[in-house]
Chains A and B, each alone.
Chain A
Amino acid sequence: MSGSNNAQAGQMAISFKLNAKEYNLTISANERLLDLIRNRLGLIGTKEGCGGGECGACTIIMNGQAVNSCIIPAARADGAEILTVEGLSGGMENELHPLQKTFLEKGAIQCGYCTPGMLLSAKALLDQNEGKEISRELIKEGISGNICRCTGYQKIVDAIYTYARERKGIE
């Protein structure tokens, strides 16, 4: 049985890979993945918005799929591979992923609270459609679980679309 409990009630040992780094941690059986990421690992790029799986501010990529970390039990991270916004640039400090640069260039960021989740939903969509052309419609569907109250979405869609085309070498 994976992620089984150790002697101390309510605690369990898990191991997982996050932003290409291996972790072995003892966590509470009732902890949320979002709290594990923010409070234990100190990675506060992942935000809590609604806390109920409706706004997407807490979006991370887990085993290749965008998920809301606020409604995932931390125990489920055992054995998983996780990417948060801090890992987007592949571990290069003070460097941005080209998708992040495009967000800046296109004005796709205003208050910034939705941005980490938006970036990770976009990243999951792009990864899942590697080598394919991506339409604006598909981008809208890909970020439909991420709410932004500032931009009106247009510039976010523009940024993802521009990056997707640049990535494919289409100008």
Chain B
Amino acid sequence: MTWENYYMPLTTGEAIELLVEKQGKARIIAGGTDLMVQHRSDPLNVRALIDIGRIPGLKEIREDSRRIYIGASVTHSQIVNSALLKKKGRVLVEAARTVGAPQIRNVGTVGGNVVNAQPAADTAIALTALDARIHILSGDGEFEKPVIDTFLGPGKSCIDPSKELVTAFSYSIPGPGERSCFARLARRESLALPIVNLGLWLCLEEDDHILKDIRIAVGPMSTVPFRARETEALLKGVLLDKAVIEKAGRSISDEVTPRDSFRGSADFKKQMIGVILKRSLESALEGKGVDSDEREQ
């Protein structure tokens, strides 16, 4: 292994100071479940690693009056076990539950999952469906942007871990009529990357099945997590019935452009994404995947 120093700062300020001081020769490590594996075949060219796992603020899941905040080093297990997210972030809980196995979920973080920028990263798909924003700290200060804007290509994020530190993700607290869910097809239930996955968020008119708004995020359908905007447009303002759901399935199959891979052919993925969208819409209508307080009544 290459790095000479391993730092475990206790504040974000210390972490940023180290990044600035090392001038691009150090990088952030979160859980390390991807980084440590990649390093075996493609050694990291860094002099130091800065482990953010001991910064208390980055491990929190909390809400204020408008938004839910998930710290960058929150693990998949923390998400799965969060009472707040079970109630107000169903798509994220369901996505986190499918990642790896207990040993990976106990260590791997949501920040790492997003910065690693794989086109079908489960929590990245969920955060994209939630229209989440990413909060970033650098030597120049703090900024935020939509999570979807950070993905540049397979394994390529606009976030530079030798200069920047992700502090949190945030999204609007779900209101009445909002529901979300996650679906995934894989060879086995554990330790398998998805053949296709889908994060769905929608908002229904009260007392009705008319879709006020919808977001569909899917992977691996492009070089980055993909928003199926044509299919979303087709569904907006429409009464969600069986015929519309059928049409939505066909629409998304036509819209996506997956590649052939050892996990499945492009044709198979196109077919399957239609199937899991239809199932997800049906389950949303049945009231499964309900966010906000509706579910408790």
Residues of A within 8 A of B (CB): 1-5, 9-10, 12, 29-32, 51-54, 56, 59, 65-68, 70-73, 75-76, 78, 121, 124-125, 141-142, 144-146
Contacts and interface: CB of A to CB of B under 8 A. Distances in A.
B2 A71 contact: no
B103 A121 contact: yes
A75 B32 CA distance: 12
B77 interface: yes
**Sorted from nearest, which 9 A-B pairs have the closest CB atoms?**
A145-B101, A30-B1, A144-B190, A71-B36, A75-B6, A29-B6, A65-B106, A145-B103, A10-B4
Interface stretch (B48-56, B141-149, B197-205, B228-236): B48-56
A68 B53 CA distance: 16
A29 B29 CA distance: 13
Interface in B25-58: 29, 32-33, 36-37, 40, 49, 51, 53-54
Contacts of B158: none
B107 interface: yes
A88 to B, nearest CB: 17
A76 B102 contact: no
B8 interface: yes
Interface of B: 1-10, 14, 29, 32-33, 36-37, 40, 49, 51, 53-54, 77, 100-104, 106-107, 189-191
Given A2-B54, A71-B33, A71-B37, A145 B100 contact: yes
A121 B100 CA distance: 14
Contacts of A4: 7-8
Contact of B53 (A32, A76, A125, A142): A76
Contact of B40 (A52, A66, A124, A144): A52
B107 A1 contact: no
B6 A144 contact: no
Given A65-B106, A71-B36, A1 B3 contact: no
A25 to B, nearest CB: 14
Given A73-B32, A78-B8, A144-B101, 19 more contacts: A1-B8, A2-B10, A5-B6, A10-B5, A12-B5, A29-B4, A30-B6, A32-B36, A52-B37, A53-B37, A56-B103, A65-B77, A67-B107, A68-B33, A70-B36, A71-B37, A121-B103, A124-B102, A145-B100
